[in-house]
Structure 1
């Protein structure tokens, strides 16, 4: 447990002095915990995890490594009726604009009818459950051929996934990042995202039925999750970035 804790501290680029001050424990005690000379209580593991902003799944892993039972349940979404009701309200209320619910691995959990514009023309194997929305987006047999600003959008998605890997240390997400980074792209990919004229967010410029739609996205998460599954859900909503796109999405 101590070695895992040290890895998380170093990943967050915090010194033992910083962490001990924030978690209100002595530097000596923290050092003993990291070297295995002292066995922390479960309460101390959770307190340190909070100050290191460790995801709930990994907090459970630290507790198990320390010889304690997990503190956070990992329920099935099918059994969370109130959560599913909220999700459906958000998805249906966002129509006709596209919206999806994804898990930590970017697998599709739910979606509204607006998502149909992104599925048209995609290879069947990319639409077989579980659908990974990042793979669908950047795969040459998925949405990629219809994304007018593929280089820009790809850089945005890969950068976001890279930051998620850094935050979670999830090997599955790291493998996904390496897979997606290997997909072909015939457009330049900016190293730094800079706005174009009049832009306030990176738009998705998507060709659909002879039109180019301009969409901006917004991510929503549950604010105070105490369940691993709930903590790892995100709602990705797309909004029209101009009047022409709004009108096109309103048409049946």
Structure 2
């Protein structure tokens, strides 16, 4: 087996820093040192040496271990820096020319999905782009929430946002907060933590105390929908989230496209009638 590690100097800060981080990711993945070693074509002894700071892993070994532990791209760069190496993955600005083709492709996807709502957000739920279907959902939202940069979580959960018109608000709020907690378990992001603490502290919208549940005509849907009152109608949507496979840019790795499928024929018919 190959052993892409090097003995670390005594008291090496980089080796000591990367070891606990890798151990934490391995434990999160529920993988033993032996299993990780087999996956990475190494040896359990070398994994142990890396985690205890006795060996400093090479750049290639850090990337290999991160790949087998399914570490997010941003955190892979953090592992490399902790091991004394330069970051491997670039982080492009949203308006970077290198992402122009990608932005164009996303715009075409959003437009092609109309009249159904769809938007693209980053890891902090900042809205990159949205189609006209989303603009219909924003009717009645307070202007201060629609001042760029737009944040999808704030717009949805704020009592002056979409919250008053979400008929199953408590269930949908619980779903969104659970989603954020799962993200926080993967990303050591102070801004995301601050956003979570902000939106989870929002008061319920007027009448929210009574809207603890929602009845489902014709039986329960296959997944939890977001049920809204819009244009005097009861509209129901299922959320689908898509991300990029094998991203090699930090920014792209944290993008997600959320599309809203009609959860019942009435919603589908109403949206199509607006075209």
| TM > 0.5 | yes
Which structure has the greater CA radius of gyration? 2
TM-score, L = length of structure 2: 0.84
- The SS at the match of 2:55 is coil
Worse overlay, 132-141 or 19-28? 19-28
* Equivalent pair of 1:146/1:207 in contact (CA under 8 Å): yes
Which residue number corresponds to residue 223 of structure 1? 245
**1:65-110 deviations in whole A, cap 9, x for unaligned?**
2121111111233321221121011000011111100001111000
Aligned mate of 1:134, from 147, 153, 158: 153
Query: Is the Cα–Cα contact under 8 Å of residues 137 and 143 in structure 1 kept in the other structure?
Result: yes
Which has the larger displacement, 1-10 or 235-244? Answer: 1-10
Task: Judge which range, 207-216 or 169-178, deviates more.
Answer: 169-178
Alignment deviations for residues 191-236 of structure 1 (CA, whole Å, 9 cap, x no partner): xxxxx92411111101112111111111111223111111111111
Structure 1 counterpart of 2:64, from 47, 52, 61 = 47
Report the CA distance between 1:152 and its aligned residue.
1.2
Does residue 1:74 correspond to 2:91, yes or no? Answer: yes
Native 8 Å contact 2:168 2:212 kept in 1: no
Hey, what does 1:104 align to over in structure 2? 123
Q: Give aligned pairs, total.
A: 246
Aligned: 1:38 with 2:38: no
Q: Where does residue 245 of structure 1 map in the other structure?
A: 267
CA distance in 2 between partners of 1:167 and 1:64 (Å): 18
Cα offsets for 1:122-152 (capped at 9, x unmatched)? 1222112211101211111111000000011
SS in structure 2 opposite 1:97? coil
TM-score computed with the length of structure 1 as normaliser: 0.91
Q: Give secondary structure in 1 for the equivalent of 2:186.
A: helix
Choose which of 2, 9, 24 in structure 2 pairs with 1:7: 24
Aligned counterparts of 2:92 and 2:137: Cα–Cα separation in 1: 30
Q: Is the 8 A contact 1:100 1:108 kept in 2?
A: yes
Q: Distance in 1 between matches of 2:106 and 2:173?
A: 27
Pairing 1:121–2:140 present: yes
Find runs of 4+ consecutive structure 1 residues off by over 4 angstroms. Answer: none
User: For residues 12 and 178 of structure 1, do their structure 2 counterparts lie closer, same or farther at Cα, with a shift above 3 Å needed?
Assistant: farther
